Amino acid sequence: MLRAQENRFEELRTTGKLPSPFGVALEIMRLTHKKDATAQEIAQLVQIDPALTGRVIQFANSAHIGARRPVVAVIDAIGLLGTNTVRQFALSLSVIQGNLRGACGSFDYRVFWSDSLARALSIQAIATRDRTFAPEEAFTCALLSEIGQLALASVYPDEYAQCLAACRPGDDDGLIESEQERFSIDHRQITLGLLKEWGFPAVMLEALALSNTDAGPLTSESTRAERFAAQLRLATLLGRCCDVDADARNALLPQIIAMAQTLGLDESDLEELWDQVTQQWQITSRFLSIPVGELPLIKPPDTDQIGIDPKPAGLKILLLDSGYERISDLEKLLDADGHEVLTTSNADEGIQITVTEKPQLIIAASDNCPIDSIQFCKALRASELGRQIYLIVLTSAPDNEFLVQAFDAGADDFIVTPVHDRVLIARVRGGQRIIQMQEEMAREQQEISRYARELAIAKRKMEVMAMTDSLTKVPNRRYAFARLDEEWSVWRRTGRPLTIMLLDLDHFKQINDIFGHQAGDQVLVHTAKIIRSMLRSTDVVCRLGGEEFIVIAPNTDVAVAKTLSERLRSDVEKHQIQTVKLTRLVTISIGVAVSTDQTVNENDLLHRADQALYRAKHAGRNAVRFYSPQRAA
C-alpha cells in the first residue's frame, strides 16, 4: 500500500467505524500474537464466551474436520483445529455478528455475507485438493476478502449507497474507479489494510492482491502466492453464482470452467467440488450465523455444446435496403436458396440487428448512389463483430470510384446491377464458402484450445502423481522435503512453532518375511489411512520410504505435539488391520522434534526427530519420544 493510501486508511481507522473484532475474539487475537501463548490460555479465553465455545466445538465435530470421536472439551477442539484456525474462526464470527445489517441502503448485507460464505466454502474445497494453504486458513481469507466493501458501507453509508447505485452489478473495475474518485481509496486497498492489521500472513495478502490482477498461466514454477491467487479467482466466480439468476449464472460458467482448468480441474472435478460446497452450505451458515437460502445447481454444459454451433444448410443474411427497387425479389430469391433472410431499410437499425441477430452475410443494396451503403460499411467494420461478417455491396451505379470507395470501406464483394439471378446466387455461394472456411478455422482453433486445456490438466495430474506415493496414496518423500523447506521458512519468518514426527512401523521386516510383501503392503496402506484420518487439516503425512513416515505439523508447540503424537501411536495400536491375520499387533514408534532458536535448519530438525525415534525404538517400541539435547549428548 502506497504512503498516501496508508494515510487514507489511517484516517478511516480513526473514525472507529471500520469492521473489527470485539470482546473475546479481540483478546484471542492479542494472545495469539505472543510467541509463548499456549493452547490452554486460548481455551480459557474461548470458554468465557458460551456462543463461541459452542461454535468451536461444533466446528471441531463437523464432517469436514473429520474427528474420529466426539470432541467435548475446548482444549481438545483447539488441539484438533490448531490455534491459528481457532483465532481466525473467532475473528470471522466476531466481524460477522457485528455487521449482519447496517445503514447503507444500496448495500445488501445478506447477499454480501451469502456470497462471501460461498466463496469461502469454494476455496476450502479447492484447498482440500490443492493444499497451497490449510483449508481453514484459506476459508477465512476468502470469507473476508471483500471486507473493504463492508467497511465503506459502514463509514460512508449514504455516499457509498450512491456509489453502488451508479455502477452496474458485477462491474468491478467501474466500482473501484468510482470508489477512488469519491473516497481516494478503494475497497480492495481497505481489505488488504484490515487483513494485515488482523495478522494475516504476508503471502496471503500478496495472493489477495494478485487475485485482482490479470492472471497469467500457472506453471510448475508458479509461487505459492500465484497459485493461491488463482484459487481465489475461481472461488470468487463460484461465490457470485449464489444470488444471481440462471442467465447470469450460465454466463459465468465459461469463465469458471476456464479458471478451473488452470488449476488442473476438469468439469467432473468442478461438479464434485460444488457438491462439497453444497453439503457444507447450511451447516457452516449456522456456525457463522449467516442467513442463507438454497444453493443453485452448477452443472457445466456438455463439451459438445460449447463453442460455435454447426453451420445450417443456409446462411443468416441481412438485407439493407437503401432504395433498391427489387428488394422483395431479392428476398424471395435468397429465401428460395435456403437462406434465412432479415430485412431493414435503416442503417442504424441494421447495426442493431447485426449485434442482436449476428448475421453471417450482409447485402447492402441501392439503385442509385451507394453512399449510404459505403457509410454503413465503415460503421460496421468499426466493431469487432462487424469485421467478421461477409459484406456485399449491390448497386446499379457502375462508377469505378464508388467501387474503390466500397472496398476501402470494408466491402468483400461489389455487384453492379442488373445481374442475372443465377450469377447473384453464385456470388452469394462464393461468400458462403469463405464463411465456411472461417468457421472451420474457428472450430479448429477451438479444438486446439481444448487439447491445450486437456494437456494442462494432464500435466497437473502428472505433477500430483510425481508428488504422491503410489502405494499408500499419501505424499511422497519428494513432497515431504519440499513442504518441510516451505514450513521451515514460515517458522523462521513468523516464529510459529514447527513440529515434525518420524513414524516407523515396529517389526515390519518380520511381517514381510513371515506373511509376504503383499501383506506388508496392506499393512502400510492401512497404517497410512489411520495416520491421515487422525491428523488435523493443517498437518500433512508423507511416506519417506519403506515403513517410515513423516508428519509435518505447522504452528504446533510441545504441548499440542504431545497430545497429537500420543493419539497417533494409540490409534494405530487400537485400529488393527482385519484383512491380514498377524501374530502380533501393528504398532508404531514416533520421534518428535519441535523447532527452537537452537535449531540450525530443517535438516537439523529432521536429524533431531531421527534421534528421538532411535530412542523410542530402544525404549521397547510402540512409544513416543521427544528430542532432548541432554539425551542427544
Task: For the beta carbon of residue 165, count every other beta carbon within 10 angstroms.
Answer: 9
What is the 8-class DSSP label of residue 625? E
What is the sign, positive or negative, of the torsion defined by CA atoms of 355, 358, 361, 364? negative
What distance in Å separates the CA atoms of residue 465 and residue 468, rounded to the nearest whole number?
5
All three cell numbers of 476, joined, read 511422497
Active site residue 547: yes
CA–centroid distance for 581 within its chain:
45
What is the 8-class DSSP label of residue 92? H
Q: Which of 137, 146, 487, 547 is catalytic?
A: 547
All three cell numbers of 242, joined, read 449464489
Q: Letter for the amino acid at 617?
A: K
List C-alpha distances in Å: 395 to 320, 368, 371, 406. Answer: 12, 7, 10, 11
Check if the beta carbon of residue 118 is closer than 8 Å to that of residue 296: no
Check if the beta carbon of residue 590 is closer than 8 Å to that of residue 616: yes
What distance in Å separates the CA atoms of residue 529 and residue 472, rounded to the nearest whole number?
8
HSE toward the beta carbon, residue 455, CA cutoff 13 A: 7
Angle between helices 187-197 and 147-155 (to 10 degrees): 100
Residues 6+ apart with CB under 8 A from 349: none
All three cell numbers of 437, joined, read 472456411
CA–centroid distance for 594 within its chain:
33
Chain position carrying cell 483449508: 135
Reference 586, options 496, 535, 515; nearest CA is 515
Chain position carrying cell 466500482: 175
Q: What does the DSSP assignment read for 542-600?
A: EEEETTEEEEEEET--HHHHHHHHHHHHHHHHHS--SSS--SS---EEEEEEE--TT--
What is the 8-class DSSP label of residue 611? H
Pairing of strands 413-416, 361-366: unpaired
What distance in Å separates the CA atoms of residue 87 and residue 100, rounded to the nearest whole number?
20
What distance in Å separates the CA atoms of residue 576 and residue 124, rounded to the nearest whole number?
32
How many residues are present in the chain?
Answer: 633
Residues with a catalytic annotation lie at 547
